[in-house]
Amino acid sequence: MIKSILFLIISYILGSFPSGYIVTKLSTRKNILEIGWRKTSGSNVFKNIGIWQGVLTGVLDVGKGFLAVKLVQNLGLKPEIQAMAGVAAVTGHNWSCFLKGAGGRGIGTFIGAFLALSPRILAYSLIPFVLLGLIWNLSIGTILFLVLAIILSASFNQWETVGLFSIISLAPIFIKRLSPIEEIKKSQEKSSLIRNRLLFDDDKPALELRIKKIFSRLTES
- For residue 40, the enclosing domain spans 2-220
pLDDT at 217: 57
63, 82, 77, 109: which is closest to 164 by C-alpha? Answer: 82
Confidence band, pLDDT 50/70/90 cuts, at residue 169: very high
> Taking a C-beta distance cutoff of 8 angstroms, is the pair 74, 11 a contact?
no
The span from the first CA to the last CA of the chain, in angstroms, equals 60
pLDDT at 90: 98
Confidence band, pLDDT 50/70/90 cuts, at residue 24: very high
With a pLDDT cut of 70, the percent of the chain lying above it is 94
Render pLDDT for 71-103 as a digit per residue (tens, 0 to 9).
999 999 999 999 999 999 999 999 999 999 999
Render pLDDT for 87-146 as a digit per residue (tens, 0 to 9).
999 999 999 999 999 999 999 999 999 999 999 999 999 998 888 888 888 888 999 999
pLDDT at 212: 63
Identity of residue 142:
T
> Taking a C-beta distance cutoff of 8 angstroms, is the pair 83, 168 a contact?
yes
φ, ψ dihedrals at 21, nearest 5°: -65, -45
pLDDT exceeds cutoff 60 at 60: yes
Residue 155: how many other CB atoms lie within 10 Å:
10
Confidence band, pLDDT 50/70/90 cuts, at residue 14: very high
∠ CA 71-144-17, nearest 5°, is 35
What average pLDDT does the structure give for the chain?
A: 92
Confidence band, pLDDT 50/70/90 cuts, at residue 213: low
pLDDT at 218: 56
pLDDT at 219: 63
pLDDT exceeds cutoff 70 at 52: yes
Q: Domains in the chain: how many in total? A: 1
Average pLDDT over every residue of 13-37? 96
pLDDT at 128: 86
**Which of these ranges, 10-14, 168-172, 215-219, has the smallest mean pLDDT?**
215-219
> Taking a C-beta distance cutoff of 8 angstroms, is the pair 78, 7 a contact?
no
Average pLDDT over every residue of 178-207? 86
Residue 100: how many other CB atoms lie within 10 Å:
9
Average pLDDT over every residue of 156-183? 94
Residues 159, 194: Cα–Cα separation, whole Å: 30
Residues 215, 11: Cα–Cα separation, whole Å: 42
Encode 200-219: b = buried (16+ Cβ within 10 Å), e = exposed. Answer: bbeeeebeeeeeeeeeeeee
pLDDT exceeds cutoff 80 at 178: yes
